[in-house]
Chain A
Amino acid sequence: MKRLVFDPARCSLCGACLAACSAVKKGRIDLVQSRIRIETAGSRKPLRAAVCAHCEEPACVTACMRGIIDKGADGLVTRRWEECFRCAACLVSCPVGAVLEDTDRKAFIACDLCGKAESGEDPLCVRVCLSGALRFEEETAASADLRSSYALQMFAEQPAAPTDPTDGQWEEIARMIAEECGSPVTVKELKSAQEQLRRDAEEGM
Chain B
Amino acid sequence: MKRKTDILVLGNGAAGSSAAFAAKKADPSLSVLVLSKENEPVYSAPALPDLLSGELTREKVLVRTWEEYEQDGIEVLCAEAAAIDPGTRTVTLADGDEIAYRDLILAAGSQPIQLRKMQGTSLPGNFVMKTMADIEAIASYSGKSAVVVGSGAIGIEGSMALKARGFERVTMVEALDWLSPKSLDKETSDQLKKALESFGVEVLTGEAVQAVLGEKKAEGVVTSKRTIPCDLVLWGIGMRPDVQLAMEAGIALGETGGILVDEFMRTSDPHIYACGDCAQSTDLLTGQPALHLFWEPAQRGGFAAGANAAGQEKIFQPSAAVFLTNKGGLSILALGKTEEQLAEDPYVLQEEKDGVFRRLLFEDGRLAGVQMLGTLQDADLFFAHIRKNAQRRKDAWDLTQPVPDLERVSVKEAIWYLRKQRRNAFVK
Partner of B63, one of A66, A88, A96, A204: A66
- CB pair A89–B295 under 8 Å, yes or no, is yes
- CB pair B63–A85 under 8 Å, yes or no, is no
For residue A123, CB closer than 8 A to chain B, the reply is no
Expressed in whole angstroms, the minimum distance between the Cβ of A91 and any Cβ of chain B is: 6
A66 — which chain B residues lie within 8 A by C-beta?
44, 47, 61, 63
B64 — which chain A residues lie within 8 A by C-beta?
67
For residue B413, CB closer than 8 A to chain A, the reply is yes
How many positions in chain A have a CB within 8 Å of any CB in the partner chain? 28
Listed stretches A40-48, A130-138, A171-179; interface member:
A40-48
Nearest opposing residue in chain A for B419, CB measure:
A41
CB contact list, A160-205 vs B, under 8 A: 204
Distance A48 CA – B419 CA, assembled complex (angstroms): 9
- CB pair B50–A85 under 8 Å, yes or no, is yes
For residue A87, CB closer than 8 A to chain B, the reply is yes
For residue B303, CB closer than 8 A to chain A, the reply is yes
Encode A35-56 as 1/0 by CB contact (under 8 A) with B: 0000111100001101000000
Partner of B47, one of A50, A87, A96: A87
For residue A83, CB closer than 8 A to chain B, the reply is yes
For residue A86, CB closer than 8 A to chain B, the reply is yes
A149 — which chain B residues lie within 8 A by C-beta?
none
For residue B299, CB closer than 8 A to chain A, the reply is yes
- CB pair A97–B46 under 8 Å, yes or no, is no
Expressed in whole angstroms, the minimum distance between the Cβ of B51 and any Cβ of chain A is: 10
Number of A-B contacts (CB under 8 A): 90
With A41-B417, A83-B60, A97-B381 known to touch, is A63 a contact of B423 (CB < 8 Å)?
Answer: no
For residue B300, CB closer than 8 A to chain A, the reply is yes
Partner of B376, one of A67, A91, A95: A91
For residue B383, CB closer than 8 A to chain A, the reply is yes
Distance A26 CA – B269 CA, assembled complex (angstroms): 54
Nearest opposing residue in chain B for A62, CB measure:
B300
- CB pair A42–B416 under 8 Å, yes or no, is yes
B44 — which chain A residues lie within 8 A by C-beta?
65-67, 85, 87
Expressed in whole angstroms, the minimum distance between the Cβ of B315 and any Cβ of chain A is: 11
Expressed in whole angstroms, the minimum distance between the Cβ of B418 and any Cβ of chain A is: 8
Encode B408-421 as 1/0 by CB contact (under 8 A) with A: 00001101110110
A97 — which chain B residues lie within 8 A by C-beta?
378-381
Encode B308-325 as 1/0 by CB contact (under 8 A) with A: 000000000000001010
Expressed in whole angstroms, the minimum distance between the Cβ of A106 and any Cβ of chain B is: 11
Nearest opposing residue in chain B for A101, CB measure:
B376
For residue B428, CB closer than 8 A to chain A, the reply is yes
B420 — which chain A residues lie within 8 A by C-beta?
41, 47
A93 — which chain B residues lie within 8 A by C-beta?
296, 322, 383
- CB pair B60–A85 under 8 Å, yes or no, is yes
For residue A94, CB closer than 8 A to chain B, the reply is yes
Partner of A85, one of B47, B299, B383, B413: B47
- CB pair A48–B423 under 8 Å, yes or no, is yes
For the complex, would chain A's binding face be called helix, strand, loop or mixed by DSSP majority? loop
Expressed in whole angstroms, the minimum distance between the Cβ of A32 and any Cβ of chain B is: 11
For residue B251, CB closer than 8 A to chain A, the reply is no
Expressed in whole angstroms, the minimum distance between the Cβ of B415 and any Cβ of chain A is: 7
For residue A141, CB closer than 8 A to chain B, the reply is no
Nearest opposing residue in chain A for B64, CB measure:
A67
- CB pair B47–A92 under 8 Å, yes or no, is no
Distance A86 CA – B47 CA, assembled complex (angstroms): 10
With A63-B295, A87-B324 known to touch, is A94 a contact of B380 (CB < 8 Å)?
Answer: yes
For residue B228, CB closer than 8 A to chain A, the reply is no
- CB pair A67–B299 under 8 Å, yes or no, is yes
Expressed in whole angstroms, the minimum distance between the Cβ of B282 and any Cβ of chain A is: 16
Nearest opposing residue in chain A for B55, CB measure:
A85
- CB pair B380–A96 under 8 Å, yes or no, is yes
- CB pair A87–B378 under 8 Å, yes or no, is no
CB contact list, B382-428 vs A, under 8 A: 383-384, 412-413, 415-417, 419-420, 422-423, 428
B423 — which chain A residues lie within 8 A by C-beta?
8, 39, 47-48
Encode A51-77 as 1/0 by CB contact (under 8 A) with B: 000000000001111110000000000
Distance A85 CA – B299 CA, assembled complex (angstroms): 17
- CB pair B46–A87 under 8 Å, yes or no, is yes
- CB pair A65–B326 under 8 Å, yes or no, is no
Nearest opposing residue in chain A for B300, CB measure:
A62
A92 — which chain B residues lie within 8 A by C-beta?
322, 324, 333, 376, 379-380, 383
**What are the 3 tightest A-B residue pairs by CB atom distance, in nearest-first order?**
A41-B416, A97-B380, A88-B326
Q: List chain B positions with a Cβ less than 8 A from chain A.
A: 42, 44, 46-47, 50, 55-56, 60-61, 63-64, 295-296, 299-300, 303, 322, 324, 326-327, 331, 333, 376, 378-381, 383-384, 412-413, 415-417, 419-420, 422-423, 428
Q: List chain A positions with a Cβ less than 8 A from chain B.
A: 8, 39-42, 47-48, 50, 62-67, 83, 85-89, 91-97, 204
Subset of 25 A-B contacts with CB under 8 Å = A8-B423, A41-B416, A42-B412, A42-B416, A50-B380, A62-B296, A62-B299, A62-B303, A64-B299, A65-B46, A66-B47, A66-B63, A67-B64, A85-B47, A85-B55, A85-B61, A87-B324, A88-B331, A89-B296, A89-B324, A91-B379, A94-B380, A95-B380, A96-B380, A97-B378
Known pairs A48-B422, A88-B331, A92-B380. 20 more at Cβ < 8 A? A39-B423, A41-B419, A42-B412, A47-B419, A62-B303, A63-B296, A65-B295, A67-B42, A67-B64, A67-B299, A85-B47, A88-B376, A89-B296, A91-B376, A92-B333, A92-B379, A92-B383, A93-B383, A97-B379, A204-B412
